[in-house]
Amino acid sequence: MNAWLTLLLAGVFEVGYALSVGGSQGFTHLSWSLVAAVFFLLTLWALSRALRTIDVSIGYAVWAGIGAVGAALLGPVFFAETLTLAKAGWLAVIIAGVVWLKLADKA
């Protein structure tokens, strides 16, 4: 279970990385770029820790799913992005897939 919490943390760091890369506008804003670099290192560190126990195929899919959903949900909060009903529906599919992957990993 500790590996799954670490993977969740890696996903949170991935969201931070994605949002800060967006804010950096192609790494032209120094403060956003530095934040992106920190989140990048944190997400790779946490992901690598989680993948000691969790299969790479499952761990990577969950990590990417958390990052995609988190960035899509928080993009409209931080940037001039939209979240349509169709996007929300497909995000729900990603969330369901992540949950099913976790359930499939039970020993």
The one-letter code for the residue type at 82 is T
Q: Could you tell me the two tokens for 3?
A: 């590996």
Three-state secondary structure call for residue 28 = coil
Query: If DSSP codes are grouped into helix, strand and coil, which group holds residue 99?
Result: helix
pLDDT of residue 8: 96
Its pTM stands at 0.86
Domain limits of the chain? 2-104
Q: What is the CA radius of gyration of the chain?
A: 15
Whole-number Å distance between alpha carbons of 99 and 107 = 15
Q: What pLDDT score was predicted for residue 105?
A: 72
pLDDT surpassing 70 at residue 107: no
Q: Which pLDDT tens digit goes with each residue over 5-15?
A: 999 999 999 99
